[in-house]
Structure 1
Amino acid sequence: MFKLAHMSDVHLGPLPDLSFRELASKRITGFVNWHRNRRSHLVGDTLNLLMDEIERCNPDHLAITGDLVNLASSREIETVTAWLKEAGEPENISIVPGNHDAYVPGAYEKTTRAWYPFMRGESGPETWNEDFHCFPYLRVRGPVALIGCSTAVATPPFAASGYFGRRQARETVNLLRAAGEAGLFRVVMIHHPPVRGAASMHKRMLGIRRFGATITAGGAELILHGHTHLNTVNWLKGQIAPVPVVGIASASQGNGGKKPPAAFNLFSISGGPGHWNCSRERFALTPDGRSVALAESTRF
């Protein structure tokens, strides 16, 4: 049995001191939002509790679906890079970027360069190359194929939308088909929810229909996303059967906010082509905020 942990929207804090130049951009709106709203609910101790419980569960792999930083400043990127190294080896952790990781023009290139070891596919170059398209990437771990897609793009102030384009769709179909022919359980990682109505207009993913067609054409067994900070299960049309689309709360969300407290999913995958078995356990921060415990079990 293969165990896959899934977390998202780390939003590692607190915010470092930012220069006037760094704030003279869209970052000023995020800076104000952090101090007015997010700071009181995105709690560092919460993330530590979640990571301790993940370690106790001893998964074979950890998938992180984006938004590791808040404003994508250089100091934040460095802090997350150090945090990732402490969390585990690159071969045991796979990440895709979120809109906060591409918060302003140029941030996407900085984050993908810094975190490339955690998003390097089987055929990717050993070191980051600015002329190389990181996404989609394919990583094979045991019976599981992890396909990482990116919807991260810089957006104007007060917008947090994502984009899934034609090139990425074509290459994702090819990866999905190859993984299916190899008899692997295919897990697609993406930040924005690829489901209509899952996010408000200014936070939605552009290319939802294209992504849906990609899944129908290529086939998949499971889709993981973040962005909404909600624990959700939706479904997309697959080649043979509907494919579960699973979202998760922010990994740093404390109790008392408008969104549910921090959580992570633990998937147990067994079986083989045509008769896969997949169950999910969702572990969440307890009401007293002192520990993380099993909150829900589901079988797909």
Structure 2
Amino acid sequence: MFRLAHISDVHLGPLPPVTYRQLASKRITGYINWQRTRSRSFHDGALGAIVADMKEAAPDHTAVTGDLMNLALAEEIAVSRKWLEMLGAPADVSVVPGNHDAYVPGALRKACEAWRPWTEGEHGWAKTNVNGFPYVRVRGRVAIIGVSSARATAPFLATGSFTDEQGRRLGRILHRAGEEGLCRVVLIHHPPVRGADPAHKRLYGIGTFQKVVRRHGAEVVLHGHTHLPTLNWIPGKGKSQVPVVGVAAAGESLGHEKPLAQYNLIEMEADEGAEWRIRLTRRGLVGPTGRVEQLSQQELIEPAKRAEATA
């Protein structure tokens, strides 16, 4: 059995000092949002409790699905790298960027350069773009596949993008990993599900992403962005369906509009028929004391198969 921890939307704080020149961009809206809400709702104590509990669970690997930063300042990029170093060795942690990590033009490239040890994939699987995506990291019988939906956007927008070019490369990875009998775990920041986000936060290229998964298959897709512990299903290869799992923000400490900080544990094991069984456990804060407990646990059984079993 392979155990994968899934954490997202860390939003490391507090913000470093910000100059007027740095605020002469989209960052002004993010700075105001931080001062009004996020500085109060995101707290290092919540994140610390989540990470401590996650490390105690001793997963085989950890996936971080974006938004490590707030405004993608140079100081934040440096802090995010130090946080990744604390989280685990590059071989044991994989990361993909979120919209806050690409807050202004040029920030995404700098962040990906700093995070390169945690995105370095296997050679010979598929070409990567300038930022190193999509990548594949094979751990045992599991293929951890990172794609990027992050891009710089105009003020008041938090949209993402999944391009045809990245789709073609992802398709080659999914095909080969499927041929080799690997459990294919796809990491992306924005949810590749229609209606999961309002228009100003949605992913452009949902159809492209779903077409690739429908053609080549996958076992599970993990995402962040919504700050919600969600479970959706999209069409997979043949008549199969693929679970798309979201997670609450890892640093949320108030929970007024969104759930308190959580993380996921994904356990994957092949049965005798070589089909992958996947179990999802959600763990998170249960109150202001910083106590982390199990919130739910379920087998990720396709809705059609679950209906057949209960008929």
For normalisation by structure 1, the TM-score amounts to 0.96
Q: Residues 137-286 of structure 1: matches in 2 within 5 Å?
A: 137-240=135-238, 241-271=240-270, 274-286=274-286
- Report deviation, 1:288: 3.1
Corresponding residue pairs, total: 295
- Report deviation, 1:131: 7.1
- Report deviation, 1:274: 3.9
Q: Could you list the per-position Cα deviations for residues 54-111 of structure 1 after superposition, in whole angstroms to 9, with x for gaps in the alignment?
A: 1110000000000000000000010111111111100000000000000000001110
Cα distance in structure 1, aligned partners of 2:80 and 2:206: 29
Does the 8 A contact of 2:9 with 2:224 survive in 1? yes
Cα distance in structure 2, aligned partners of 1:152 and 1:132: 13
- Report deviation, 1:289: 3.5
- Report deviation, 1:143: 1.1
Q: SS at the partner of 1:170? A: helix
Cα distance in structure 1, aligned partners of 2:129 and 2:172: 21
Q: SS at the partner of 1:34? A: helix
- Structure 2: unaligned runs, 5 residues or longer: 301-311
Residue 71 (structure 2) pairs with residue 71 (structure 1): yes
Amino acid aligned to 1:175:
I
1:13: which partner in 2?
13
Amino acid aligned to 2:8:
S
Cα distance in structure 1, aligned partners of 2:288 and 2:295: 14
Q: Could you list the per-position Cα deviations for residues 237-276 of structure 1 after superposition, in whole angstroms to 9, with x for gaps in the alignment?
A: 0014100000001000013420011100001111157421
Does the 8 A contact of 2:268 with 2:276 survive in 1? yes
Cα distance in structure 2, aligned partners of 1:18 and 1:47: 23
- Report deviation, 1:133: 4.8
Does the 8 A contact of 1:254 with 1:289 survive in 2? no
2:33: which partner in 1?
33
Q: SS at the partner of 1:37? A: helix
2:93: which partner in 1?
93
2:54: which partner in 1?
54
Cα distance in structure 1, aligned partners of 2:262 and 2:89: 22
Q: Could you list the per-position Cα deviations for residues 106-135 of structure 1 after superposition, in whole angstroms to 9, with x for gaps in the alignment?
A: 0011100000111111128xxxxx974511
Amino acid aligned to 1:164:
F
Q: Which runs of 4+ in 1 moved over 6 A?
A: none
Q: SS at the partner of 2:290? A: coil
Cα distance in structure 1, aligned partners of 2:298 and 2:83: 30
2:293: which partner in 1?
293
Cα distance in structure 2, aligned partners of 1:10 and 1:288: 18
Amino acid aligned to 2:221:
I
Amino acid aligned to 1:39:
S
RMSD between aligned residues: 1.3
1:127: which partner in 2?
none
Does the 8 A contact of 1:279 with 1:297 survive in 2? yes
Cα distance in structure 1, aligned partners of 2:28 and 2:132: 29
- Report deviation, 1:227: 0.3
- Report deviation, 1:286: 1.2
Does the 8 A contact of 1:285 with 1:292 survive in 2? yes
Does the 8 A contact of 2:236 with 2:242 survive in 1? yes
For normalisation by structure 2, the TM-score amounts to 0.93
